[in-house]
């Protein structure tokens, strides 16, 4: 391992468990603990735990916190009025490109928490500080590297968490999706990146190893980045840097639903560019019809022209390759297109997302 790689508070736990560690955006992270396929199925059938402490919790506090966030992100945080409620949004540049996708939690009108991606954390903080300073917002942006985060996902995930932490049950049992319980020693959110039910749990960094061990003792399967990627792909969830980036508008990545244009007076950063942009591509799913595996950047040949795979993998749940693609306007669900896989054009069916919902395949015809 390079000395330059960052390590989460759970890094030694992963190594002791025999995880295969890889460089993931400058972080030393587990890709699997033996069988990526078994880890994937554990999440779909029971419960798995992921170290997501490389992602950054950011506290935004101050009298202007709400106004600052209404300018900063494309979704409208004023919709959140109950403590713990959350929404998913994109933070855009003035050209409408995605600086990052993130989850925002409401604590009070002057206290919020953002969870941003690991690979974009430094530029995210710099951008937030720049916006706050240039617009003279009375707001403080605080990166919280003193916190750690794990995701416990799967149909049995919540019961396993309550078995490991019985005191949390009363505060978290009635949580609806995209809401969190703000506890003295933790933030427990009913969110995730797998398409399954479960919690994402934020605790002080010095408490996360015990939480991890206690959950593993409840037969929760440790899972690495490999299973996380196949799970999110099946669930139709984008990966920053692959399905979108600073050159891609939200509507080019299937994220129009994360942009709120209802309040015409809310001129969030990037709004003008989005309103003026005519998108020549559609973002949609692909199911490979023959043997092979789709990967990012593979060319797609359609009757309407050329497109590109943005993410692709072999689906452990479905047994065939699935992917996301940006394709020419006019391509519709049910069409057959062709993917260039190592010089061979392989047929694929265009389909809606997601591919798997609540552990079950979604029928695409």
Structure tokens at 62: 């101050």
CB atoms within 10 A of CB 61: 16
**Within 13 A of 178's CA, how many CA atoms are on the CB side?**
10
3-state secondary structure 247-285: CCCHHHCCCHHHCCCCCCCCCCCCHHHHHHCCCCEEEEE
The runs of H, that is alpha helices, within 114-168 are 121-134, 157-164
Planar angle of CA 235, 238, 243, nearest 5 degrees: 140
H/E element, 12: helix 11-16
Backbone torsions φ then ψ of 257, nearest 5 degrees: -65, -15
CB-based burial of residue 153 (10 Å sphere; 0-12 exposed, 13-18 middle, 19+ buried)? Answer: buried
The alpha carbons of the chain give a radius of gyration, in whole angstroms, of 21
Q: Is residue 354 reached through a cis peptide bond, with omega within 30 degrees of 0 on the bond before it?
A: yes
Structure tokens at 64: 């202007």
Q: Which residue, among 311, 239, 278, 248, has the nearest Cα to 92 in the 3D structure?
A: 248
- Residues in the annotated binding site: 200
Planar angle of CA 113, 151, 59, nearest 5 degrees: 10
351 vs 323: CA distance, rounded Å: 10
- Residues in the annotated binding site for substrate: 200
Helix (H, G, I), strand (E, B) or coil at 76: coil
């Amino acid at each position: 391992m390079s000395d330059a790689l960052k390590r989460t508070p759970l890094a030694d736990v992963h190594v002791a468990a025999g995880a295969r560690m890889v460089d993931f955006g400058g972080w030393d992270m587990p890709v699997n603990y033996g069988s990526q396929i078994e880890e994937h199925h554990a999440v779909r059938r029971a419960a798995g735990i992921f170290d997501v402490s490389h992602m950054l919790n950011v506290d935004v506090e101050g009298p202007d916190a709400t106004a600052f966030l209404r300018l900063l992100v494309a979704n409208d945080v004023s919709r959140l009025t109950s403590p713990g409620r959350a929404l998913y949004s994109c933070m855009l540049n003035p050209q409408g490109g995605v600086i990052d996708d993130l989850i925002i939690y409401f604590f009070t009108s002057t206290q919020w928490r953002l969870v941003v991606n690991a690979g974009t954390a430094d530029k995210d903080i710099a951008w937030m500080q720049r916006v706050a300073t240039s617009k003279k917002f009375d707001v403080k942006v605080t990166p919280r590297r003193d916190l750690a985060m794990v995701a416990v996902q799967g149909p049995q995930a919540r019961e396993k968490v309550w078995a490991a932490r019985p005191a949390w049950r009363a505060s978290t049992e009635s949580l609806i999706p995209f809401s969190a319980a703000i506890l003295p020693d933790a933030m427990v959110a009913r969110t995730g990146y797998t398409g399954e039910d479960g919690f994402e749990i934020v605790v002080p960094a010095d408490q996360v190893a015990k939480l991890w061990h206690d959950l593993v003792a409840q037969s929760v399967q440790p899972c690495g980045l490999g299973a996380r990627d196949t799970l999110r792909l099946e669930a139709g969830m984008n990966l920053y840097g692959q399905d979108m980036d600073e050159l891609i508008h939200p509507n080019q990545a299937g994220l129009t639903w994360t942009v709120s244009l209802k309040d015409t007076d809310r001129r969030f950063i990037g709004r003008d560019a989005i309103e003026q942009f005519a998108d020549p591509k559609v973002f949609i799913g692909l199911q490979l019809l023959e043997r092979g595996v789709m990967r990012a950047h593979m060319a797609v040949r359609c009757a309407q022209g050329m497109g590109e795979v943005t993410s692709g993998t072999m689906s452990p749940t479905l047994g065939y390759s699935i992917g996301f693609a940006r394709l020419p306007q006019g391509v519709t669900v049910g069409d057959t297109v062709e993917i260039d896989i190592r010089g061979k054009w392989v047929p694929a069916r265009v389909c809606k997302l997601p591919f798997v919902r609540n552990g079950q395949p979604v029928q695409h015809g």
